[in-house]
Amino acid sequence: MNPGLGLAVLTLAALAGHMVLAWFFPSAPHVTVLFVAWCGIRHGSLRGELCGFAAGLALDSLGLGPFGTQAVALAIVGYLCGLARRKVDGENGAARMVLAGGSLAAFLLVRSGLFRMTGFEETAWNLWQGAWTILLAPAVFSAFRFVGRRVRAA
Amino acid sequence: MPATNRGVQPRDVMPADRRALTVLCILAALGMGLIFGNATPLVHGVRDITLRVVLPEAALASWAGRATGGIGERFRDMAAAFDENVGLRSAAARLEGEVHDLSLLVEENRRLRALLQMRADDPKVVAVALVAARDPGRWFGSVLLDKGRRHGVRRGLIGVVVQQGARALVGRVVEVWENGSKLLLVSDPLFAAVASLPRTGDDGVVEGSGGPWLTMRYLSPDVEVTAGEQVVTSTRSGVFPPNLLIGRIERRTEERVQGYAAARVRPAANLNRLYQILLLTPAGGSKVSG
């Protein structure tokens, strides 16, 4: 499959996973942030930011906040993870957790800043969701890699 | 932990990073445009489409919620419209009453103007009296006036009304007291006046019937009367001023008294709408007593 198309399919799959998990488990890990981080670390800054922007737009479409905030935040996350690919071993579990924590922090920081700029009142962040995002990052990254290979093979 | 062994040449890295940075700047600018731009309809459209594609159940629930909310809103609107309708009906009824009152005032004003005009012209006018009361049991019998002896009213005065610029006979004062008087109407069975048909010059006697019409008796058997013909007080009447309009012939009746013909007469004055009565001195000024 075309790599761009494969990435688009993966993006949709990640979004679907995010929706399903968030629907049933409010404290479920932020799958989209993890996906964007994985995408940046795996495919570089350009694809990471493009996937982040697209996924962010999808999340903005489903959310109530100012349209575009999550797109910008995830694009920045994808870009930063792409920059980190040369210095971080994407296969290391601890490195994945650090990457996930950094990505989530960057995402929340940028999004919070944009919310403040627009005057939108942000709801309190679920600490359990942050914890699960960091703890499950190695498993989620492995799942993305597995699915990515299957998609590429298709 | 550093992963620098990917075989990427430095001259290739910089353009890719620059490109990524450029694209990031473009994406950030685009995102800022979406955030701060006035794209509310577009955003609503995109959100609606995404919701329908990604979460059809949620979209359905949202649609159902909107529909239900719409029904509730419609009910609220209907209730508000109902309240408004009640208020408007009340206001319309009140305004209708005011318009009616105004029309009555206009009519009264017109009558009073006519009365004033006629009173100024005629020295025979003694007073202008208002109808103070009326006996429902003898509706066409008599009325009580608000002017009495202290206003110059005496028994025998002639009561007329002004209709369309002409005087029409209404009755005659039969009782007087200090602050009021009683006017016997032309329709009372006790009322009688010598009348004349101006077209033919025939005389007769107009009498009340107790109802809304009069009867003119003692007409010549061979007289020809036509419907609508005027009946006026006769110049040979010693009581009523001559040529005062009494009414109009309605039809000839089959009644015969001592061989004389009779006709039904409709009074010129509307006896159901008596408000102001002009009281005149009778013919010759005689037969008047306090």
Say whether pLDDT at B280 is over 70: yes
Question: Which residues of chain A are within 8 Å of residue B35 when distances are taken between CB atoms?
Answer: 66-69, 72, 114, 117-118
Does the beta-carbon distance from B20 to A76 stay under 8 Å? no
Q: Which residues are bridge partners to B175 per DSSP?
A: B182
Report the SS3 class of residue A21: helix
**pLDDT of B290:** 47
Decide if A50 touches B, using CB distance below 8 A. yes
Strands (E), chain B: 125-134, 142-145, 158-163, 166-177, 180-185, 192-196, 203-208, 214-219, 230-233, 245-257, 260-267, 276-280
CA distance B48 to B43: 8
Q: How many CA atoms lie within 13 A of B141 on its CB side?
A: 8
CA–CA min distance A110, chain B (Å) = 11
Distance of CA A114 to the CA centre of its chain: 18
Say whether pLDDT at B232 is over 90: yes
Q: Exposed, middle or buried, B290 (CB in 10 Å: 0-12/13-18/19+)?
A: exposed
CA distance B279 to B236: 21
B4 vs A58, A60, A86: nearest CB: A86
CA–CA min distance B66, chain A (Å) = 17
* pLDDT, tens only, B16-42: 778 888 888 998 888 888 888 766 777
**pLDDT of B59:** 60
Q: Which residues are bridge partners to B215 per DSSP?
A: B207, B264
Say whether pLDDT at B8 is over 60: no
Question: Which residues of chain B are within 8 Å of residue A79 when distances are taken between CB atoms?
Answer: 20-21, 24
Res. B67 pLDDT band, cuts 50 70 90: low
**pLDDT of B3:** 46
Q: Exposed, middle or buried, B74 (CB in 10 Å: 0-12/13-18/19+)?
A: exposed
**pLDDT of B101:** 92
Question: For residue B10, what is the nearest residue in chain A, using CA coordinates?
Answer: A86
Question: Which residues of chain A are within 8 Å of residue B16 when distances are taken between CB atoms?
Answer: 44-46
Question: Which residues of chain A are within 8 Å of residue B13 when distances are taken between CB atoms?
Answer: 86
Interface residues on B facing A, Cβ-Cβ cutoff 8 A = 1-4, 6, 8, 13, 16-17, 19-21, 23-24, 27-28, 30-36, 39, 43, 46-47, 49-51, 54-55
Per-residue confidence of chain A (154 residues) as pLDDT tens digits? 677 777 888 888 888 888 888 778 878 888 899 999 988 888 888 889 899 999 888 888 877 778 888 899 999 999 999 888 878 777 777 888 888 899 989 998 898 888 888 887 777 777 888 888 888 888 888 888 888 888 777 7
Question: Which residues of chain A are within 8 Å of residue B20 when distances are taken between CB atoms?
Answer: 44-46, 49, 79, 82
Does the beta-carbon distance from B24 to A49 stay under 8 Å? yes
pTM of the model: 0.45
Question: Which residues of chain B are within 8 Å of residue A15 when distances are taken between CB atoms?
Answer: 54
* pLDDT, tens only, A90-128: 777 788 888 889 998 999 889 888 888 888 777 777 788
Question: Which residues of chain B are within 8 Å of residue A88 when distances are taken between CB atoms?
Answer: 1-3
B24 vs A19, A79, A88: nearest CB: A79
ipTM of the prediction greater than 0.85, yes or no? no
**pLDDT of B235:** 85
* pLDDT, tens only, B157-182: 999 988 777 889 999 999 999 999 99
Say whether pLDDT at B200 is over 50: yes
Does the beta-carbon distance from A44 to B16 stay under 8 Å? yes
Res. B143 pLDDT band, cuts 50 70 90: very high
Closest alpha carbon to A38 in A132, A129, A147: A147
Decide if A107 touches B, using CB distance below 8 A. no
CA–CA min distance A6, chain B (Å) = 19
Res. B117 pLDDT band, cuts 50 70 90: low
Res. B2 pLDDT band, cuts 50 70 90: very low
Decide if A90 touches B, using CB distance below 8 A. yes
Question: For residue A47, what is the nearest residue in chain B, using CA coordinates?
Answer: B20
State the CB neighbour count (10 A cutoff) for residue A121: 7
Question: Which residues of chain B are within 8 Å of residue A45 when distances are taken between CB atoms?
Answer: 16-17, 20-21, 24
Question: Which residues of chain B are within 8 Å of residue A20 when distances are taken between CB atoms?
Answer: none
Closest alpha carbon to A21 in A32, A8, A12: A32
**pLDDT of B58:** 60
B31 vs A19, A68, A79: nearest CB: A68
**pLDDT of A145:** 84
Q: How far is CA B127 from CA A35, B243, B268, B281, in A?
A: 108, 21, 21, 10
| Residue B48, token pair as written in the block | 């609606």
Does the beta-carbon distance from B3 to A85 stay under 8 Å? yes
